[in-house]
Amino acid sequence: MTPIRDLTPLDKLDQARALLDAGEPTLTDLASAIGISASHLQRRFTARFGISPAEYLAQRKLGTLKSALREGSDVSAALYDAGYGSPSRVYEGGAARLGMTPARYRAGGAGEQIRWSLARTALGTALVATTERGVCMVELGEDAAALEAKLRAEFPQAQLERVDAGRDEFLAPRLRAVADTLEGQAHAVSVDLLGTAFQKKVWDALMKIPAGQTRSYAQVAEAIGAPGSARAVARACAGNRVAVVVPCHRVVRGDGSLGGYRWGLPLKEKLLQRERAA
């Protein structure tokens, strides 16, 4: 790559992102092209965009793959067009990020078996959905039809099976664990989280925040090694599909105010008060 001269530090980071959008440069090549050391580029890029250059490239490739699969492209062609080089490459990390194989994701979850049920809890009606790997969705609300619609929109072609509470040996214990968690009891719940690498880092960090404590968006960003990415952390919290089990309610603004919450600020406040009291 030909080095790029006379750019401000921010312009250089924007140029680095443009180069990642256009190809697959190594960190060394990227640093050489914009005229700073690889270690400085790694730190500054992560601070500016919330993810490292390698993670940015991985997300771009995964996004390209997902778009092509959703549009009905042939799986092999979509894999190569997205830059994976060979079908095996996507299974090294891509399939885990998709939460299912590329072929099944392409078909809107076709072939994926998702069992789900509704439960009445102290927080209202909860829809709990599981794959064979764990809980993939916990949605809250009072409109059962709207909750089901959200699940079907996420996996339009999956084999969705509604199960009456207690009638399924796989779903039943997970439903009980989620219900207990929503009631405020501590339970280990296996999850199957579908998101980008950055989102998963955030969600993993949230699950390490002890009940009764909070962290600011900036503190979470620091914890995952991405200082300066507080806004990206907030977006990841908003994208959480697994209510309470992935405790995005424990993240607040730096001044201590609640910030946002997908399921409404009154519920966020209620959850925090309940945990502090316990």
* Annotation marks residue 237 as catalytic: no
Catalytic residue, candidates 127, 138, 248, 252:
248
Ramachandran angles phi, psi of 119, nearest 5°: -140, 140
Q: Is 157 exposed, middle or buried (0-12, 13-18, 19+ CB in 10 A)?
A: middle
Between CA 258 and CA 241 the distance in angstroms is 19
Please say whether the beta carbons of 207 and 114 come within 8 A.
Answer: no
Q: Strand, coil or helix: what is 268? A: helix
Show the tokens assigned to 72. Answer: 């009905």
Show the tokens assigned to 29. Answer: 């090549």
Whole-Å CA distances, 161 to 20, 117, 129, 147: 41, 8, 9, 14
Between CA 164 and CA 69 the distance in angstroms is 33
Catalytic residue positions, numbered: 248
